[in-house]
Amino acid sequence: MQALKIRNLTKTYKGGVEALRGVDLDVPEGDFFALLGPNGAGKSTTIGIVSSLVNKSGGTVEVFGHNIDTDLEAAKSCIGLVPQEFNFNQFEPVVEIVMSQGGYYGLDRQTAYQRAETYLKQLGLWEKRNSMARELSGGMKRRLMIARALVHEPKLLILDEPTAGVDIEIRRSMWEFLRRINEQGTTIILTTHYLEEAENLCRHIAIINNGYTVESTAMKSLLRQLQKETFLLYLQEPLEQFPSIQGYAMKQVDETTLEVDISAEQNLNQVFGELAAAGLQVRSMKNKSNRLEELFVKLVEKGQL
């Protein structure tokens, strides 16, 4: 079963702005799915329509087989939403925010309290349960929205830039948490501008731009499309003489750093071997830029043509 199936989704706002011109998406059940696109591409509008915060102009949306035009209540029951902007009552205690949301989904107060305790503890917010929401830090507020979205244990969790403005330590703990939730069976759709985040977490990816789906495929097959990757090699000792390896484009960045391009037909083993033969030891290495980022830029540029 598809967790989310979108066909030819269109949205024209009052004033004539066409936010979506024909978005198609298929998100398999249990997937960790990245929805990417530049600012204004239509990601948040798409999410808004799926979660019924935005009225669509055309097309169909099905959530676990429930069409939002004919079976909205059932579709809504399947979804948990973590929006981009903070959207809770700043003057309400943390635990009440989570419990009220549970109530709106028909959870009695005892069950809602137990769930609130579970998720607030997992997200490191239980100690703050009686604090007013406005007293929380930015990272805590984001985690509060995740706990709130999970209180009714949705089959589909949609996160719209959940780690924006969050420090790296909290971001990584959120990644671990989301991985765990996904492993337990929750389908996750993630929008993010951190492409490293999408590459690390997601199995499938869709890129939308100018209101269209530019690409929708498995992350691995997308990354295979890369014809060339650029690596930075950090050497153990400073270079005395620039090593030249036939067939490889290489340049010296500084006295202990080399930059090398590896095409799809080439491999790093040969580079390491040649460098070792020249008496050079590679201490560490990294991609010059995120692989997904390179593809993303290409696809978005192609979509604009």
Q: How far is the C-alpha of 295 from the C-alpha of 226, rounded, in Å?
A: 7
Q: Mask 56-95, x = binds other proteins (CB under 8 A)? A: ----------------xxx-xx-x-x-x-xxxxxxxx---
Per CB under 8 A, contacts with other proteins among 146-165 are 148
Tokens of 33: 């799915």
Q: How far is the C-alpha of 287 from the C-alpha of 201, rounded, in Å?
A: 18
DSSP 7-27: EEEEEE-TTS-EEEEEEEEEE
Nearer to other proteins, 77 or 131 (CB): 77
Q: What totals of helices (H) and strands (E) does the chain contain, helices first?
A: 10, 14
CB of 79 to other proteins, least distance (A): 7
What is the H or E stretch that residue 207 is in? strand 204-209
SS3 155: coil
Q: Does 54 bind other proteins (CB under 8 A)?
A: yes
Nearer to other proteins, 21 or 291 (CB): 21
Q: Mask 95-134, x = binds other proteins (CB under 8 A)? A: -x--xxxxxxxxxxx--x----------------------
What would the 3-class secondary structure string for 181-193 be?
HHHCCCEEEEECC
Nearer to other proteins, 147 or 201 (CB): 147
CB of 195 to other proteins, least distance (A): 27
CB of 134 to other proteins, least distance (A): 10
Q: Does 22 bind other proteins (CB under 8 A)?
A: no
Q: How far is CA 34 from the centre of its chain?
A: 5
Closest residue by Cα to residue 195 from 35, 4, 21, 16: 35
Nearer to other proteins, 91 or 286 (CB): 91
CB of 83 to other proteins, least distance (A): 7
Q: How far is the C-alpha of 111 from the C-alpha of 118, rounded, in Å?
A: 11
Q: Mask 23-52, x = binds other proteins (CB under 8 A)? A: -------------------------x--xx
Q: What's the one-letter identity of residue 82?
A: V
Q: Does 53 bind other proteins (CB under 8 A)?
A: yes
- Residues in contact with other proteins by the rule CB under 8 A: 13, 48, 51-55, 72-74, 76-77, 79, 81, 83, 85-92, 96, 99-109, 112, 148
